[in-house]
Amino acid sequence: MDELVVDTLIIGWGKGGKTLAGTLGRLGRSVALVERSTQMYGGGCINIACVPTKDLVHSAEQRRPSDDPQAWFSASVVGRDTLVEKLRERNHEMLAGVPAVTLIDGRARFTGPHEVEVSAGAERLLVSADTIVINTGTAPARPGIPGAESSPRVHDSESIQHIEPFPKSLVVVGGGYVGLEFAGMFSHFGAAVTVVDRNEQLMPREDRDVADAVAALLAESGVEFLQGATVVQIDEGDAGASVTVEIDDGARTIEGEAVLFATGRRPVTADLGLDAAGIVVDHRGFVVVDERLRTSVPGVFAIGDVNGGPQFTYISLDDNRIVLSQLTGTGERTTADRVAVPSVTFLSPPVARVGLNEIEARASGRRLLRAGKKIVDIAAMPRPKIVGETHGLIKVIVDADTDLVVGATVFSVDAQEVINLIALAMRAGVTASELRDGIWTHPSSTEALNEVLGGLVPLR
C-alpha cells in the first residue's frame, strides 16, 4: 500500500474544507483533500444544495401560466446542470493550481487517530497527518415509513431536482425551510402541491403573523397545507403514490404523482471508521466538537454540517476561520464569537430573519420597541412595486434602553440582502436611529428602513 504524509488532511470538499485547503496550501503547508465523488468537487452547496436549488427557484419564478410545465422544468434542469458543471470545474481548478495541495479521489476511513486509508476500487492509499479535518457534511434523511424506501415515486431534496417526468401533483412531507422552498418552486413550475406538516402551525419558530403571511403567499400559488399530520404509509399506485396520514385521530389518503421527503438531514459519518480513531459522535451520528471545533482526538477537527451546528454554508466558512486561527493564528476565535447570524428561506419573495422574534423578545424581560409594516404599505420602498412583487412584511425589534436592534424579520424582495445589513448593524452596534436616518440608494429595498423604523412603538 502506498503511503502519503502531509501536514493537513481534509476529508470532504465542502465550503469550509476547500477554503482551508486553499489557504494552507498557499502558505506552503502540504495538504491532502479527499473526496469520494467526482460530482461533489466544490462541496454540497454548489452541487446539490444552495446554488442549484436557488437556480431552480429563479427559473420557476420566470415561468408564465401559458408555458408548458414539463418543457419549462426540463429546460430549467439543463440550465441548472450547466451552471453546476461550470462551478464544479472552477472549484477544482482553484485547488489543482496550488502545488502544495494534493487532490485525492476515493473513500476515506480512519485506521487510527491520525491515519486514514483511502480506497478507490482496488487501489489503497494510507494518508497520515498531524492535523485532520472531517468535512463530510450531511445527506437527506428518510424516516422508516413503510413504502418510503421502495417506491420510485419517493424523492429527497437531491433526487427531485432531476425528477422525470415532471409531476402534475406533488406531496411534500415536512414544512421546514427546505420543504417550503420546494413547495413554492414546484408550484411555480406548475405542479399541484400539498404540504404535510406534523406541526399544528406552519413555521412554529416564527411569529404567527410571519407564518400566516408565508402560508397565504404559498396558498395564493396553489399550495395546500395539512397541518398536525403524520405520514404513516406510502403505497404505489398506477398513476402515483398514495400517502396515508394520521390527523385528528383519524386517517386520510393523499394522492400524488411524486412525494418529496423534506424531513431533515443525517451526518455522513457511518463509514468513516471514527471508532478506530476514538472520535466521539452523538446519538444521531454527528461528530462532537467543542467551541474550537476540536473533536475528542487532539489534532482532529470537524467542520461544516457534520459537527451538528447550524447547517448553512456561511457557517462552514466560519468554521474554516476558527480552525485556521488555531493552525496559523492565536487560536482565540470560537463559535461563541458568532453574533447575529441571519437565515433565509428562499420563497418568492424570500423570508429572512436575524436575532430575536417577538415571542423570544418578550421572554427576554427587556423593555422593547417594535416597528412593522406590510410591504404593500411602505411608501418609501417602491422597488417591490417596480418588480411586481409586493407580498410580505418587515418588522424590527429594538431595545428601548440602548436603541440597538435585537431582531428583525424581512419577508420581501431582496430580503436576503437587507437582512445582511441589519445583521451587520447588530454586530457593529449601529443603532436603530442610525438605520432609520441612513442615506440609502433609491429605489432600493434598504430604504424601507427609513419608514419602518420611524414607527417604533412599545412591544407589549
Mean pLDDT over 35-44 rounds to: 97
- Tell me whether residue 442 is one of the annotated catalytic residues: yes
pTM: 0.96
How high is the pLDDT of residue 396?
98
CB of 338 within 8 A of CB of 356?
A: no
pLDDT for the residue numbered 239? 86
pLDDT at residue 268 above 90? yes
Question: Stretch 418-445: mean pLDDT, rounded?
Answer: 98
Which candidate in 92, 162, 188, 442 is catalytic?
442
Q: 109 near 36, Cβ under 8 Å? A: no
pLDDT of residue 242: 96
What pLDDT sits at residue 150? 85
**Residue 315 CB partners (closer than 8 Å, separation 6+):** 304, 309, 338, 341
Give the pLDDT confidence score for residue 345 in this predicted structure: 97
pLDDT above 90 (res 460): no
Q: What is the mean pLDDT of residues 193-220?
A: 97
pLDDT, mean of residues 426-444: 98
pLDDT in tens, 365-385: 999 999 999 999 999 999 999
pLDDT of residue 181: 98
Dihedral of alpha carbons 34, 38, 42, 44, sign? negative
Residue 143 confidence (pLDDT): 84
Residue of 396, 331, 393 whose CA lies nearest to 358: 396
Average pLDDT over residues 327-342: 97
Is the separation of the CB atoms in 320 and 20 below 8 Å?
Answer: yes
Q: What is the pLDDT of residue 96?
A: 97
Quote the pLDDT of residue 142: 83
In which residue are the cell numbers 421502495 written? 150
The alpha carbons of the chain give a radius of gyration, in whole angstroms, of 24
Is the pLDDT reported for residue 456 higher than 80?
yes
Q: Percent of the chain scored above 70 by pLDDT? A: 100
Q: What is the mean pLDDT of residues 205-231?
A: 97
Q: What is the mean pLDDT of residues 86-109?
A: 98
Q: What is the mean pLDDT of the chain?
A: 97
Q: How far apart are CA 147 and CA 197, in angstroms?
A: 18
SS3 labels along 224-291: EEEECCEEEEEEECCCCEEEEEEECCEEEEEEECEEEECCCEEECCCCCCHHHHCCCECCCCCECCCC
pLDDT bracket for residue 437 (50, 70, 90): very high
Our CA dihedral for 304, 308, 313, 319, rounded to 10 degrees, sits at -50
Q: What are the pLDDT digits (tens) for 126-137?
A: 999 999 999 999
The type of residue at 308 is: G
Residue 227 burial class via C-beta count within 10 angstroms: exposed 0-12, middle 13-18, buried 19 and up: middle
249: confidence class by pLDDT, cuts 50, 70, 90: confident
pLDDT digits (tens, 9 = 90+) for 111-158: 999 999 999 999 999 999 999 999 999 999 988 899 998 899 999 999
Domains present along the chain, CATH in parentheses: 2-140+266-337 (3.50.50.60), 154-263 (3.50.50.60), 343-458 (3.30.390.30)
